[in-house]
């Protein structure tokens, strides 16, 4: 589903990713852990096609297509979803409006007709229920005044509605209390733990991995994957720290 080969990328002309390779098959959940500044968010933004994140070498194939040749909206339409470490606030646009616009833009790009109002609301209610998100909350402007946990749950509602093939989730667990962590983890499992989907979960902590059990755990340090293992690697990192494990 995703084949990253010897990826080099710069941010503001500074080399951050330095030869990163990673292969993700359908049905798999991969976790990437690593110290601050390792390049984890840079990897997520580079996959999403964010401006100022420039690929200087290497290739990324998504579902058989050249991901790097696509515009950000084409990547989304192709089934890539990015969950942000810091979700943005959009005053003046309600979350429900935002969800509807993004879903219909994606459907249009795929040559599909927009959902009717009724169909759309049914879908939102279903996904909001999954994330135990109050519909009233989703009528408020996007993320404005939302707590950290509410932002992340709202983002998972968005993921459920867009129904991506591959979700790249950047520190979706940051700022979540224990209960929210469980709700978000269960939501990720329900939406994405399927034979035709895959997840790349970027996290600092082992906690979320107790709920969303990864098939592979990678350590990202110095802009490349320095170690790969199973779920036990996450426990080892938590016990021993990155320096001991990544050295």
* 15 Cβ contact list (under 8 Å, min separation 6): 8, 9, 56, 223
Q: Quickly list H helices, the chain.
A: 40-48, 72-77, 95-109, 117-130, 135-138, 148-162, 178-192, 207-211, 231-240, 242-246
Contacting Mg ion (CB under 5 A), which of 36, 52, 88, 136?
36
User: How many residues of this chain interact with Mg ion, rule: CB under 5 A?
Assistant: 3
Of ligand ADP, Mg ion, none, which one does residue 185 interact with (CB within 5 to 8 Å by kind)? Answer: none
Q: Which one, 12 or 113, has the nearer CB to Mg ion?
A: 12
| Residue 116 contact, options Mg ion, ligand ADP, none, Cβ 5-8 Å cut-off depending on partner type | none
How near is the Cβ of 40 to ligand ADP at its closest, in Å?
A: 3
Q: Which is nearer to ligand ADP, 48 or 79 (CB)?
A: 48
Using CB under 5 A as the binding rule, whether residue 41 contacts Mg ion is answered as: yes
Q: Per DSSP, what are the bridge partners of residue 66?
A: 61
CB 7 within 8 A of CB 44: no
39 φ, ψ (degrees, to nearest 5): 115, 15
Nearest approach, Cβ of 189 to ligand ADP (angstroms)? Answer: 24
What residues make contact with ligand ADP under the rule CB under 6 A? 11-12, 14, 16, 34, 36-42
């Amino acid at each position: 589903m995703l084949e990253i080969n010897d990826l080099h990328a710069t941010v503001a002309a500074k080399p951050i990713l330095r030869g990163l390779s990673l292969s993700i098959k359908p049905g798999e959940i991969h976790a990437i852990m690593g110290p601050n500044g390792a390049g984890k968010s840079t990897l997520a933004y580079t996959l999403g096609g964010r401006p100022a994140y420039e690929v200087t070498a290497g290739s990324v194939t998504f579902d058989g297509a050249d991901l790097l040749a696509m515009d950000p909206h084409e990547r989304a339409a192709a089934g890539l979803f990015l969950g942000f470490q810091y979700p943005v606030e959009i005053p003046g646009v309600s979350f429900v409006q935002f969800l509807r616009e993004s879903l219909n833009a994606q459907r249009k790009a795929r040559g599909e007709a927009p959902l009717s109002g009724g169909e759309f609301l049914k879908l939102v209610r279903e996904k909001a229920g999954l994330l135990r998100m109050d519909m009233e909350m989703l009528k408020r402007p996007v993320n404005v005044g939302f707590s950290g946990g509410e932002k992340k749950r709202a983002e998972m509602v968005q993921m459920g509605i867009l129904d991506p093939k591959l979700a790249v989730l950047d520190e979706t667990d940051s700022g979540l209390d224990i209960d929210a962590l469980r709700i978000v983890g269960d939501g990720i499992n329900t939406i994405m733990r399927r034979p035709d989907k895959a997840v790349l979960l970027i996290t600092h902590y082992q906690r979320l991995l107790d709920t969303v059990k990864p098939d592979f755990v990678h350590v990202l340090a110095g802009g490349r994957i320095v170690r790969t293992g199973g779920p036990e690697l996450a426990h080892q990192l938590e016990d021993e720290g990155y320096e001991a494990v990544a050295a």
